[in-house]
Each structure stands twice: as structure tokens, then as C-alpha cells.
Structure 1
Amino acid sequence: MSSDPRTIQIYDERAGEYASVTADHIETPLLQAFIAALPSDAHVLDLGCGPGLFAAAMEAKGLTVDATDASEQMVALANQQPGVSARQASFADLDAREHYDGVWANFSLLHAPRADMPGHLARIHSALKPGGQFHMTVKTGTGEARDRLGRFYTYYQPCEMRALLEDAGFTVTKITPGRDKGLDGSLSDWISVASHA
């Protein structure tokens, strides 16, 4: 979902590899908690869906999922998943109003410049129905940098992320820390933030 051309190019070139690296992350308690907080017939946006594995898991639970990603190759992979209909779009393309019961943005918004984050969060808040659930995961740290593959990242401290969400009108309900190895092979610390509109 990044608008950074270099980041999108890397995901286009390594979409299959990324799908393999992240395949064992799908059965996460974070996804289970997100689904449990939604109505049984919820309409969800997977914002930055990557290869569509989470979208497919949500569809399998009976949710209706709109899946979007800025990478053409990621969208192509997502559309191969059972029940998934994905389209190419950037964060800034989101213009829905009170349309979704939930928005899932897992390791996607961290590719946006820090200066753009308030606008992205405002659009997500507008796209959610009142009380709608929002999940996002970002890497922890400070500043902005490219990883060893060249992907652009913005790093956040938990208190900063909480403040940004609250400023956008969200109520933060839980912050969960974690650590995983990513596509570039390095271990990274992250936080998952659950909130609602």
C-alpha cells in the first residue's frame, strides 16, 4: 500500500517469496481477536493485503473482505486465494464513508511516511462504521529508513502510535508487542494495536 515506487517494485519482484515467509503467520491470535470483535456477517477492508492470506482466512470465517494493495503482483497472488477479490489501490485512494465493520492493516501502514499517517488514519476512521474495529501493526523504533532490501519504513514508539490513533478519533483497546523475522531476514520488533472508531 506504500506509494513509494521503490518499495512497490520490491514487493512486485518478491511477491512469491513474501507469501512464503508470511504463510506461517496467518494463524495468529491477533487475527482471531479481530474476527471475534466483529459481527458474524462483517464487511472488512484488508488494507495492504499482500498475497491475500489474511483476506482468505477472514473469508473462510464468513466475513466479506475487500482487499487492496499497491503492488500489482501482490494483488495477482491475492486473487488466487479462495474467495478473495483484490484490487490495486494506495492508502490515499480510500474514500469510503461508514462502510466497513473492520479494517485490517497488518504491516502495511508502516510503509507510509510519518507526515502522511494522520491523513491515512483519518480516512480509515471515516471508512469505519461507528464502533468499527481497526487492527494495525507497525515496527517499533524511531525515524524513517530503508531496510537492506530497499523498502521504506517509518518506525513508531507505542506512545506515539496511541497518540496518533486517539487524535484520529480512535479508542485504543490493546497494544501487543512481538518480534519476527521478515523478508529481509532480520528480526524486527513490532506492535499490534487494536482500536475502534
Structure 2
Amino acid sequence: MQRKNETLNYYESHAQEFSQGTQSLQFTEIQDLFLEKLSPNSFILDFGCGSGRDARYFLNRGYRVEAVDGSKEMCSIAQKLLGQPVKNVCFEEIEEHEKYDAIWACASILHVPKVELGGLFGKLNEALVSDGILYASFKYSEFEGMRNGRYFTDFTCDSFSEFLKQIPGWQIEESWISRDVRPGRDEEKWLNLILRKR
């Protein structure tokens, strides 16, 4: 609980700075790859929406989007950007049943300790319709712990594959490594995953 509180407190106190640093980033290559797997008018959950950058992209392309975030300040910022309500929801509070066609969890659930992540993947599976997809991204390493005021669970391709074997109901449809798109951080690597509910 302390780790969660520290991470949420970080986003509460750095919300403006964080949104300014991420809102205008070009992320279209990965966004479009995700959207290619969806039917028109699909219902997307932006799970940990941050500044609302990705939710806005999906809305502008005609998709239905529900955006949520654990930080009240981030919700306020995203709500102004999107012009629609953004729910203040912590990750473990998701309790939906076959509601979404797709879930977008970009650099969000990486803040969940690995010991809790399996249960969260179970809840996300439950929230998707049959054959629904989940996009998630994690920093590419074997690290787990506090980093720059926030808790991180990192994965490599191999460690995530081993992790997912313990969780029923998923298959890895695509996985790839990308470089950080933020200025001056192109040496940082990310693990990108598209999982399919089976």
C-alpha cells in the first residue's frame, strides 16, 4: 500500500509537468497498430490514461473510449483535453464484465507489483469481450522496485512470457521492443505487448 501511495502521490504532485511532457508526443505508430486490430466503433478502455493523449487520438478516429486514472489531478487534466468525464479509478478497483472490446494500458500497469499483477490481468481479462485485446507496455529490464519516486515492474520478452504462463485466458499476439519517444531518452527500451483474450 505504501508503494501505491507513493506512486499516486508522485502523479498528484507532478501532474502538470507530466502531462506537458507526454501530451504532444508522437505515438501514432503503436496507436495505429492497436487500432488496426479493432472494428470501427469498438469500445476502448484507456486504463491509466494519464494526460489523455491516447484517448483523444482514439476518440478523434471515431472509437468509443472510457478513460480512467488513479490520480485525481491527472483525471482533471485529461477531462479538459477530452471534453468528457474521466473516472478516478485505481487499478484494483476494476470490476467490469465483458464490457470492452479493447483495453489500452500504455505505461500504466507497470506500476503494479508483480505479486499483484497476476490478479489484475485476471480482472482485465474479465472486463474484455470474447476475443478482445489488451495493449500493455513495460520498461524493458528485470528491475522491480522504486525508481524516481514511483514503483515499477519491468519485464523482458522472456520474463513476461514466463509470467503469463501462470495466468489463464491470454495469448501473446504480438510483442516488440521500442525506444522511448521522449527527447533525450532514446536509450531507454520498452516492451510492447498485444494480448488476446482466448
Return the TM-score normalized by structure 2.
0.90
What is the RMSD of the two structures over their aligned residues, measured on CA atoms?
2.2
Task: Give the secondary-structure state (helix, strand or coil) at the position aligned to 1:25.
Answer: coil
Deviates more, 1:102-111 or 1:18-27: 18-27
Contact 1:146 1:153 in 2 (8 A): yes
Q: What is the 5 A alignment of 1:90-169? A: 90-147=90-147, 149-166=148-165, 167-169=167-169
Return the TM-score normalized by structure 1.
0.90
Contact 1:140 1:190 in 2 (8 A): yes
Taking structure 1 as reference, are residues 178 and 64 closer, same or farther at Cα in structure 2, changes over 3 Å only?
A: same
Percent identity (aligned): 24
Q: How many residues align?
A: 195
Distance 1:42 1:118 in 2: 26
Taking structure 1 as reference, are residues 62 and 108 closer, same or farther at Cα in structure 2, changes over 3 Å only?
A: same
Distance 2:66 2:161 in 1: 26
Task: Give the secondary-structure state (helix, strand or coil) at the position aligned to 2:119.
Answer: helix
Distance 1:26 1:8 in 2: 25
2:178 pairs with 1:172: no
Contact 2:26 2:181 in 1 (8 A): no
Q: List per-residue Cα deviations over 1:24-64 (Å, max 9, x = no partner).
A: 43432111011121110111111100011111111111111
Contact 1:121 1:165 in 2 (8 A): no
Distance 2:193 2:74 in 1: 24
Q: List per-residue Cα deviations over 1:73-125 (Å, max 9, x = no partner).
A: 10000101134421111111111111100000000011000100100101001
Task: Give the secondary-structure state (helix, strand or coil) at the position aligned to 1:81.
Answer: helix
Task: Give the secondary-structure state (helix, strand or coil) at the position aligned to 1:12.
Answer: helix
Contact 1:140 1:189 in 2 (8 A): yes
Contact 2:179 2:186 in 1 (8 A): no
Contact 1:125 1:168 in 2 (8 A): no
Distance 2:83 2:57 in 1: 9
Alignment-derived partner of residue 38 in structure 1: 38
